[in-house]
Chains A and B, each alone.
Chain A
Amino acid sequence: MSDLSADRVSVAFAGLSALSEVDLKVTSGQIVGLIGPNGAGKTTLVNVLTGFQPATEGTVRLDGQPLSGLKPHEVRRRGIARTFQGGRLFRDLPVIDNLEVTGVGLGLSRAAAIAEAEAMLDWVGIAPLADRIAGTLPYTDERRVAIGRALMRKPAFVLLDEPAAGMSAQEAQDLSALIRRIASEMGCGVLLIEHNVGLVLDLCHHVVVLDSGVVIETGGPAAIRASERVRHAYMGTAADTNLPVLEVME
């Protein structure tokens, strides 16, 4: 068992607070959701967890060891992988090469990287796309390539930044199934950042709600559903009884 935690993490850009004393913990095999309105600081937190953004205060720990000062590639080599909003695939390279890059980046020979990339493409369900140039793929396939790329060499943790953005209900369902398998079959700890709150409440064991850089609620899906504060953050009013985003799930 492994755990990844943020302890009282704060980030300030030129005096403006983006994150304020945020606590979060993910353990192996667990799916933790991170939700919140636009500008809540979700991606900033992912950037801190993966070495792209230094924390102004607080510490990120992997199994109790601080990760402070590590560069992104060093964080990845410790087994913390991520995806990006909008995919950020290597657009000029074929799909298989996109996955191979992680293999060689983590020290595999090209032969070994190819073998693992093929198995991984199969696992995420896009084996027939191996030779396609990544830049020519439709949206939903791009996401699967990005996830496959992150899962190469079986990281201990994977942070998915809005993997379902722009997907239809059916596509989001398929993606849910894949995310469940990442946790159950691979034993990965998953941090899921999503605007589709329905998807998050459906999938996650535990949910953290951010608003304006502050954790306003944590708990299981039922507690989040019932929370007045979450409703308020999303709606700006406590009067409504339904979260609008919940309708996406139905």
Chain B
Amino acid sequence: MSHPVSHGSVARRSIATPVLLGLLLVAFALVALAAGSKPFNQTIIDIFLKVIFVVGLWVFVGNSGVISFGHIAFAGLGGYVAAWTTIKPMMKGLSMPGLPDWLMQTEIPYWASAGLAAGWAALWALIFGSVLMRLSGIAASIATFAMLAMVNSIYSNWDSVTAATSSVVGIPIIRSIWPYLIAALIAVFAAWAYGISRHGLALRAARDEPTAAAASGVDIPRARLIAFVISGAIMGMGGALYAHSIGIVTPDTFYLGLTFITLSMLVVGGMGSLSGAVLGVLILSTLIQTLRWLEAGVEIGTTTFALPGGVQEIGLGVVMILILMFRPAGIMGNRDLSLPARAASETKGLQSPKT
């Protein structure tokens, strides 16, 4: 046989991608450590959270080609799991008196709540997905948006267990960057493992040419559902950690704002590859942070140079328009980061298992 390969080698050939992306995240963590400032620490934590969200989104959107406006709902479900399971029972009694007694008495560590949140969000992804995954194209996208609105509406009105639109406070705040880094690494490696799996391949085929995929034996709704559940789990984990990063949740924490910033990051980075998802977050976050910093003013000698307020939003908009004009498939397009020696023969990263 001309190409002796095995499944192990699919993994071996593409492992460089998650490893390089992981090293990049570690580098960001080390910069935060070196800077040693509290606000900067929080910025890096926020970047890691966005990496989790955008990578979670990529697992479904990138592989299926169906744009989802609804994934932040899973983050919201996760965020409230953190509230339900980590706030001190006495405080829960005040803000959410309708919780069942066993849940009221539950107080678990943040990492356990993140795990539980992943499972809870995955369960709801399975339930919603069983219905939604039969739809394709724009119909599916609109349905995911309806799902987001539905979850938001329920959590905004079910005051005995979610405190309705009031902020739920008292979630233990985790200020160390390491748990967020570890969770982001888990998200990246899980997304990579899914991407090279048989289910990931089948779904990308269905994205490119659904008719031919069905004629090849691919059960498209099922292939989409698998991705939907895995991405829901990643979003749920991210939602719980997001709650632990700021200490409070409201239904609107997990609504349109977060939906559009995460989708923008995915589109700008390039939804065709895992590297696009991660780099989209890192590049846009760095840009936003730099513009904020310039707005606040930079002292050079005795003069302070500051950009007028609002430049951050305008600058971000201009950069996004430019990227989409000149690189409509995003910064990375379909390409994944890989080692230079392999780059020539393997431009498709996850998609190519060959040497």
Contact = CB atoms under 8 A, between A and B. Distances in A.
Interface of A: 50, 52, 71-73, 76-77, 81-82, 84, 88-94, 96-98, 100-102, 104-111, 113-115, 118-119, 122, 127-128, 130-131, 133, 149-150, 152-153
A131 B202 contact: no
In this complex, the member of A52, A72, A97, A122 whose beta carbon has the largest number of chain B beta carbons within 10 angstroms is: A72
A100 B196 CA distance: 12
Contact of B204 (A52, A81, A93): A93
Given A82-B215, A102-B216, A110-B196, A93 B10 contact: no
B204 A76 contact: no
Which of A93, A108, A109: most chain B CB closer than 10 A?
A93
Contacts of B202: 101, 104-105
B61 to A, nearest CB: 15
B217 A77 contact: yes
Given A109-B7, A114-B10, A130 B2 contact: yes
Nearest to B5: A114
Contacts of A90: 204-205, 208-209, 212-213
Contacts of B157: none
26 contacts: A50-B215, A72-B215, A73-B217, A76-B214, A84-B215, A88-B209, A90-B204, A90-B209, A92-B334, A96-B3, A97-B205, A97-B351, A100-B201, A101-B201, A101-B202, A104-B202, A106-B216, A108-B198, A109-B198, A110-B7, A110-B10, A114-B5, A114-B353, A115-B5, A115-B6, A152-B216
Interface in B148-181: none
Contacts, number: 133
Given A90-B208, A101-B205, A110-B197, A119 B1 contact: yes
Interface in B103-144: none
B218 interface: yes
B352 interface: yes
Contacts of B345: 131
A-B pairs with lowest CB-CB distance, top 5: A111-B7, A105-B217, A104-B198, A72-B214, A105-B218
B351 A92 contact: yes
Contact of B198 (A72, A73, A91, A110): A110
Contacts of B292: none
Nearest to A149: B216
A53 B352 CA distance: 33
A118 B217 CA distance: 19
Given A94-B348, A97-B353, A113 B3 contact: no
